Amino acid sequence: MMWVDKYRPTSEDNYVFPIGSAGDTLRKMLVRKNPSHLLLHGEPGTGKTSYVSVFCHAHNVDPFDQFTYTGGEISTVDDIRKKILETVTTSTYSWDGFRVIHLEEFEHISKVGSNALRSIIERAKDTVFILSVNNLDRVDKAIRSRCTTVEVKLATQDFAQLIRTILKEENVEIDKAYLNSLVSNNPNDLRFIINTLEEKYGD
């Protein structure tokens, strides 16, 4: 198993929250009884997808009520009707809970598809949509207005601790100068740093 999967956060205890008010917002969403739809934006590797797992864990979302699609998979109106509309019109597995639909790389969805999804979001019951994008400017404003928008940007000192934990668990001795250089040159891409370390020091 790759390190990024082996050490992927499963709860808020081992998730690296973004800095400032963004982190506060994401923490609040973990305890809010009726959380809003979320639009997470930021550079690749900052933990947007990992947060979805943490969110589902915090709200005890049944695995059968967790869905993930990429922008390429739902690029047309037909795709959205078949995959998204059919999902939100069925009952959840948990009688007192809700489903989570995670749409990755949402900026790749077409304008027509975005309009169709907007209508579904407005009508969907017992459903929380979490959209994740690298480029917020490519997301339709009408979609943004229906979500709580959060920039996921990491603090170097926070994810440096996670990296040290991984290296300790993998019994890896590392040159501190090399690690500092790797982190400083890739300040927001935790996934890239972990993959680079595994390539260099993994079995």
Is 115 a domain residue?
Answer: yes
Is 2 a domain residue?
Answer: no
Is 52 a domain residue?
Answer: yes
Same domain, 172 and 143: no
- For the record, the structure tokens of 190 come out as 């935790």
DSSP string, 19-35: SHHHHHHHHHHHH-SSP
Is 3 a domain residue?
Answer: no
* pLDDT score recorded for residue 147: 95
Angle at 32 between CA 36 and CA 126, to 5 degrees: 50
Same domain, 186 and 125: no
pLDDT band at 58 (very low <50, low <70, confident <90, very high): very high
Same domain, 84 and 115: yes
Cβ-based neighbours of 156, under 8 Å, separated by 6 or more: 183, 184, 187
Q: For the chain, what is the mean pLDDT?
A: 88
Is 12 a domain residue?
Answer: no
Query: 66 near 100, Cβ under 8 Å?
Result: yes
Same domain, 82 and 174: no
pLDDT band at 108 (very low <50, low <70, confident <90, very high): confident
Is 7 a domain residue?
Answer: no
Same domain, 48 and 144: yes
Is 70 a domain residue?
Answer: yes
Residue with tokens 């994810």, as numbered in its chain: 159
Same domain, 91 and 139: yes
* pLDDT score recorded for residue 144: 93
Cβ-based neighbours of 153, under 8 Å, separated by 6 or more: 18, 19, 22, 42, 43, 46, 188
Is 8 a domain residue?
Answer: no
Same domain, 101 and 61: yes
Please count the structural domains in the chain. Answer: 2
Domain of 22: which CATH number?
3.40.50.300
pLDDT band at 156 (very low <50, low <70, confident <90, very high): low
Same domain, 78 and 142: yes
Same domain, 74 and 33: yes
Same domain, 30 and 91: yes
Write the pLDDT tens digit of every residue in 10-49: 888 888 888 789 999 999 999 999 999 999 999 888 889 9
Residue 162 is part of which domain span?
A: 156-201
Decide if pLDDT at 56 tops 80: yes
Same domain, 38 and 127: yes
Same domain, 41 and 98: yes
Task: Tell me the average pLDDT across 137-141.
Answer: 91
Please report which helix (H) or strand (E) contains residue 13, including its range: none
- Helices (H), ranges, 47-155: 48-58, 77-79, 86-88, 111-123, 141-144
